[in-house]
Structure 1
Amino acid sequence: MAEANAPHIDDSALEEAVRFTSDLIRLDTTNRGGGDGVERPAAEYVAALLAEVGIEPLLLEKAPRRTNVVARVQGTDPAAPALLVHGHLDVVPADPAEWAVHPFSGEIRDGVVWGRGAVDMKDSDAMVLAVVRAWARAGVRPRRDIVLAFTADEEDTAQFGSGFLVASRPELFDGCTEAIGESGAFTFHPGDGRRIYPLAAGERGTAWLRLTARGRAGHGSKINHANAVTRVAAAVTRIGEHTWPVRLSPTVRAALTELAAVYDVPLPDLDTAEPARLADAVDGLLARLGPAAALVAPTVRNSANPTMLSAGYKVNVIPGSATAQVDGRVLPGGEEEFAATLDRLTGPEVDWEHVHHEIPLQAPVDAPAYAVMRDALLHFDPGAHIIPYCMSGGTDAKQFSRLGVVGYGFMPLRLPEGFDYQAMFHGVDERVPVDALHFGTRVLDRALRAL
């Protein structure tokens, strides 16, 4: 049997990565939230592809048709810790009327695969499938066991997906110490000829909030100084206008340090304990980094964005209560400050609570795994710059961290100049170049065999 130094991925595997992406897009796995989703068709498709090459899949559901697939690829070193490779099967809604190409067509046009999930993240699922199927055909085995998890419900609360798996079947992930998942190792073009690959080694925490204001119900024609709508609106305004202080996590600090070196600009004092001086130093550095600052700017602070309002039932009736919802994101180590700030901004007349709460994450950037992933990218794109990256949002890595698994975002794509990868997430006309899928499949193959 061939070992981990076997030849690279062949043409059939590259073709499969493209075909599987298209096929998965055509399977509508829209997750509308609140339990409204169906991942079963994609899960059955994935399971059949694994079983076809002798990899035994396990299909698991917390609720009917909210299906997850888990499988284990045996490595050559039984003493080595296992590696988790995870990707989700659900996608956010898409309105066909807004798209140039139908979002569930999976159409391949002019070297690009179109459709919902093309980058988030059926392309990644497809690349992983292509790699492990190529290994099975060639008799290649990785050094360590690789646990594959294709999950449901990542686009909502993960209660039917990774949350369910972690709570009910933790033994499936026995031995896993590290994981790779979505949203890292894509090409970022700052417009100056450089190619930057942000390799995710952290995530902000999730704090989805419900604000509730109580007041005195009454007639709309009467003066009412206990108006619940006014109270919740005032709280929302204060939250929306608040400027959060700069707080640098180790991942973000490493990103700023490396970007300063890439751009050959002086690194300011990032160790000052004085909040205003730190904010000036970071904001000044970001200004000198140009477009590349976009990789870091969303993660130097906590954030809280009001997103929903609900109150009343008739224009001439002042309701007794009003609610709002806020999307909060919290840096590692920033949860106490976040809660205290929300208490202050909402004030005594508005209560707040978590609708959904997930922890922030951090992964070491000086670990051997990070070096392997960096080197795999540079092997196929010499001259590129690899920087650590903290995701502004979150992934299933939060759930798997409860099992002690350290997560990285590494689903590589080499993208052409002008391709706005970030805009593809949950956006209209989501698509991925065929060449990017070929690149990602080769890089994944090399990295997974070396990790």
Structure 2
Amino acid sequence: MSIDPAPRTEQHPTAEDEVVGLCQDLLRIDTSNFGDGSGPGERQAAELVAELLAEVGLEPRVFEAAPGRTSVVARWEGTDPSRGALVLHGHTDVVPAQASDWTVDPFAGEERDGLLWGRGAVDMKDMDAMILAVVRQMVREGRRPARDVVIGMFADEEAGGVLGARWLVDHHPELFEGATEAISEVGGFSVEVGGRRAYLVQTAEKGLAWLRLVADGRAGHGSQVNTENAVTELAAAVARIGRHAWPYTLTPTVERLLRGVADLTGLPFDPEGGADRAQVDALVAALGPAAKFVGATVRHTANPTQLDAGYKVNVIPGSASATIDMRTLPGHEAEAAAALRELAGPGVRVETIHADQALEVPFTGGLVDAMVDALHAEDPGAAVLPYTLSGGTDNKSLARLGITGYGFAPLRLPADLDFAGMFHGVDERVPTDALRFGTRVLDRLLTTC
């Protein structure tokens, strides 16, 4: 690939200068993903990304899995192409936002009091902007990454990536040729633990199973006795699943995180004696706002999310259905699926809408060392710990190609900011100084990893 970097002049802003504006530009494109196959705005966002990369001399390629469902991929040559390539990726789609619930217009990209507001500010147009800003500065300055980098901005992550990362992996695996590791969202952010700042690097994520429960019964008049009522059968199953207290199970990543929290706080932790719920709950609580993420990773979860039955108040329907969002611990997926089927009961079918694997990788190796070093260079003395994400990322799709994925979107955050609560929440926002911090960390990382 031929790149003719522009000379460094005052006309070319640094990544720190540029990142907030880039994030605003992305936030102002409504890329809401309703999960129904539509993706308004993804094409516009992809065109902006491609333009920004091409402007500095890279050669982005644009792919459409379906009309408007658009992803962008570019390869950037490193100083040592013999090493495995790094996939640096984000997604441009966001979950929908109800404007009436927000303090500001969720698609205005408004900056207030040092915070940038908008749907996608934390999930994950903040990281998209940091990636673009750092890559643009490095290319302009003629600096190359330590190894080849595959830059990907994918569609459809919020609906499982079927029309984004998964489609590219299935139809264009050559784009990721030679890639061995990947970096994406929901890791590298800071929390305060025991009075000390700690950064959580995502080294695992729970498995995903979106399920449909279906109960069949005998249709009839609403005034009659009916012992085969599908709604009754379904409601009982939904209640059993929704109220089930899943046992605590500590995976290697979670155990290592809790050990780190115990070291920072002085709280007791004895995993060899079993997963003591009181100890685990105290350690999770010590993570402050991040407890929302971590608290869902000490056990499986299965939440009823939708119900569908009947068409008239005086007609007993012949069938009823519900959906379940189930997230499973790495290494324990089969036991979770068996337990769910038992909870559903013999009168309810369990159908899979969409499923994807759990991931867990070691908190060791050259890339991990480089992430830790990059954080310490900008925040000396901070702790760096691994953690498991309760949700999922496009690293699941890349794992099908044997690519080891991490969550590392570095942000130094105020201790009282409920960062975890803003994922898919109302009034999503990110500090502008955290974005600038992230560009400095990513610059160091790409230069050394």
For normalisation by structure 1, the TM-score amounts to: 0.94
Task: Mark the CA change 1:210 to 1:45 in structure 2 (over 3 Å): closer, same or farther.
Answer: same
2:303 alignment partner in structure 1: 305
Q: Is it true that 1:53 corresponds to 2:56 in the alignment?
A: yes
Q: For 1:179-218, what aligned pairs fall within 5 Å after superposition? A: 179-190=182-193, 193-218=195-220
**Which amino acid letter does the alignment assign opposite residue 262 of structure 2?**
A
1:415 alignment partner in structure 2: 413
Q: 1:393 aligns with which of 386, 391, 394?
A: 391
2:8 alignment partner in structure 1: none
2:32 alignment partner in structure 1: 30
1:406-427 Cα shifts (integer Å, max 9, x gaps): 0000001111132111111111
1:289 CA drift (Å): 5.4
Question: Contact 1:260 / 1:267 at 8 angstroms: preserved in 2?
Answer: yes
1:251 CA drift (Å): 1.1
**Which amino acid letter does the alignment assign opposite residue 429 of structure 1?**
D
- Which sections of structure 2, spanning at least 5 residues, go unmatched? 4-11
Q: 1:250 aligns with which of 249, 252, 256?
A: 252
1:120 CA drift (Å): 0.7
1:319 alignment partner in structure 2: 317
Question: Contact 2:258 / 2:284 at 8 angstroms: preserved in 1?
Answer: no
Question: Contact 2:204 / 2:361 at 8 angstroms: preserved in 1?
Answer: yes
**Which amino acid letter does the alignment assign opposite residue 345 of structure 1?**
L
2:9 alignment partner in structure 1: none
1:206-237 Cα shifts (integer Å, max 9, x gaps): 01100000111111111111110000000001
**Which amino acid letter does the alignment assign opposite residue 64 of structure 1?**
P
Q: For 1:427-438, what aligned pairs fall within 5 Å after superposition? A: 427-438=425-436
Q: For 1:23-422, what aligned pairs fall within 5 Å after superposition? A: 23-38=25-40, 39-190=42-193, 193-268=195-270, 270-271=271-272, 278-279=274-275, 281-288=276-283, 290-292=285-287, 294=291, 295-422=293-420
For 2:329 and 2:283, locate their aligned partners in 1 and report how far apart those are by CA, in whole Å: 23
Question: Contact 1:209 / 1:327 at 8 angstroms: preserved in 2?
Answer: yes
**Which amino acid letter does the alignment assign opposite residue 433 of structure 1?**
P
1:11 CA drift (Å): 6.0
1:265 CA drift (Å): 3.0
Instruction: State the SS of the aligned residue for 1:163.
Output: helix
1:61 CA drift (Å): 0.6
Question: Contact 1:184 / 1:198 at 8 angstroms: preserved in 2?
Answer: yes
For 1:180 and 1:290, locate their aligned partners in 2 and report how far apart those are by CA, in whole Å: 27
**Which amino acid letter does the alignment assign opposite residue 343 of structure 2?**
L
1:74-124 Cα shifts (integer Å, max 9, x gaps): 001121110001100001111211211111111122222111111111111
Task: Mark the CA change 1:193 to 1:259 in structure 2 (over 3 Å): closer, same or farther.
Answer: closer
Question: Contact 1:185 / 1:200 at 8 angstroms: preserved in 2?
Answer: yes
**Which amino acid letter does the alignment assign opposite residue 136 of structure 1?**
V
1:17-63 Cα shifts (integer Å, max 9, x gaps): 11100000111111111211130001000100100100110000111
Q: Decide which moves more: 120-129 or 283-292.
A: 283-292
1:118-176 Cα shifts (integer Å, max 9, x gaps): 11111111100111111111110111000000000001121110011000000000111
Aligned residues: 437
Instruction: State the SS of the aligned residue for 1:199.
Output: strand
For 2:343 and 2:277, locate their aligned partners in 1 and report how far apart those are by CA, in whole Å: 25
Question: Contact 1:252 / 1:299 at 8 angstroms: preserved in 2?
Answer: yes
1:282 CA drift (Å): 4.4
Question: Contact 1:210 / 1:324 at 8 angstroms: preserved in 2?
Answer: yes
- Which sections of structure 1, spanning at least 5 residues, go unmatched? 2-9, 273-277
Question: Contact 1:263 / 1:289 at 8 angstroms: preserved in 2?
Answer: no
For 1:408 and 1:146, locate their aligned partners in 2 and report how far apart those are by CA, in whole Å: 15
Runs of 4+ in 1 over 4 A off after TM superposition: none
For 1:290 and 1:348, locate their aligned partners in 2 and report how far apart those are by CA, in whole Å: 38
**Which amino acid letter does the alignment assign opposite residue 399 of structure 1?**
S
Q: Decide which moves more: 20-29 or 107-116.
A: 107-116
For normalisation by structure 2, the TM-score amounts to: 0.94
Alignment root-mean-square deviation, CA: 1.8
1:232-291 Cα shifts (integer Å, max 9, x gaps): 0000010011111222222112111211111223330x245xxxxx24x24423325533
For 2:285 and 2:118, locate their aligned partners in 1 and report how far apart those are by CA, in whole Å: 31
2:7 alignment partner in structure 1: none
Task: Mark the CA change 1:288 to 1:144 in structure 2 (over 3 Å): closer, same or farther.
Answer: closer
- Give the % identical residues: 55
